[in-house]
Amino acid sequence: MSNRYKILVVEDENNIGSLIRALLEANNYQVISASDCTNGKMLYHSHRPDLILLDLGLPDADGISLLQEVRRDSFTPVIVLSARTDETDKVDALDHGANDYVTKPFSSAELMARVRCALRTSMQHSRPGEDSVFISDGFVIDYGARRIFIDNTEIKLTQTEYNIIACLSRHPGKVLTYSAIIKEIWGYKDCGSVKKLQVNMANIRKKLGAKPGKKNYIENELGIGYRMCERNEPLHYPSAPADHP
Ligand code: CA
């Protein structure tokens, strides 16, 4: 049983906390839980969990302070549990290094999918080098050549469009906020940046063949940012396959 993932749940609402615990245990995860920030921090340091589910509204302190403490010494994935109205909280949490968020009330299937995704992503701890190729369900990025293919057909992109996709692909499954992407691509933020990003993203989605109601390579998290979806588990190859187009 020692190979089970250990998950720390920090949640002050007892009914939600025990629901999450039951759900995780039913899925064969090991669970430790805290109902405030102080105990959450203590358990984090003493147990070194593989993943943290973190409520932001805690009785003794803001959950963000736990997140900051975790990020000072590890990349342990953190999924924030937030109420529907807290859009700025979600952005704030993501910008402080949270991997993802789940909005309450959430379905068990959704929560478990996010947990699996975050654990998988953290296993791919090494950043792909410039020569590596990202592959997800027919979607290939040749970082060395700065080219993108879908089902072996090259997608013609501008430099900025390529940079945005490459940036998202380095964090598969993770929501990147508008300001995180803008900082990465343009290095600064002004009042027109979000609009500029959205225009680029609209073009990207068109070029990637995005269709409403269909599962797409890049998902728009309204008012928050974008996420590159994992359809299959992406593979990071050390170098391009020999028969690469
Ligand atoms: Ca709470």
- pLDDT of the residue at 20: 97
The radius of gyration of the chain from alpha carbons, rounded to an integer in Å, stands at: 19
Convert the pLDDT of each residue in 15-68 to its tens digit.
999 999 999 999 999 999 999 999 999 999 888 888 999 999 999 999 999 999
Confidence of residue 131 (pLDDT cuts 50, 70, 90): low
Q: Does this model's pTM top 0.85?
A: no
17 CA distance to ligand 1 middle (Å): 10
- Distance in angstroms (rounded) separating the CA atoms of residues 2 and 144: 40
Average the pLDDT over 208-216 and give the result.
71
Q: DSSP letters along 41-89, please?
A: HHHHHHH--SEEEEESB-SSSBHHHHHHHHHHH----EEEEEETT-HHH
CA of 24 to the centre of ligand 1 (A): 19
Ligand 1 mean position, distance from CA 86 (Å): 12
Estimate the crossing angle of helix 37-47 against helix 63-73, to 10 degrees: 20
Order across the sheet with 30-34: list the strands. Answer: 30-34, 6-10, 51-55, 78-83, 100-104
For the segment 223-240, the average pLDDT, to the nearest whole number, is 65
Calculate mean pLDDT across residues 143-164: 87
What are the DSSP calls for 86-102, one per residue? -HHHHHHHHHTT--EEE
pLDDT of residue 243: 44
Digit-coded pLDDT (tens) for 169-200 = 888 888 999 988 988 887 777 778 889 999 99
Question: What integer best gives the mean pLDDT of the chain?
Answer: 83
- What CA–CA distance (Å, rounded) separates 5 from 8? 10
Measured in Å, residue 63 CA sits from the centre of ligand 1 at: 9
Query: Measured in angstroms, how far is the CA atom of residue 68 from the centroid of ligand 1?
Result: 18
Distance of CA 56 from the midpoint of ligand 1 (Å): 6
Phi-psi group of 162: left, alpha or beta (phi > 0 → left; psi -120 to 50 → alpha; rest → beta): alpha
Q: What is the pLDDT of residue 202?
A: 92
Residue 143: pLDDT band with limits 50, 70, 90: confident
pLDDT surpassing 60 at residue 128: no
> Which residues fall inside 5 Å of ion ligand 1, going by CB?
12, 55, 57
DSSP 8-state secondary structure symbol assigned to residue 128: P
* Span from the CA of 52 to the centroid of ligand 1 (angstroms): 15
Contact 79/98 with Cβ under 8 angstroms? yes
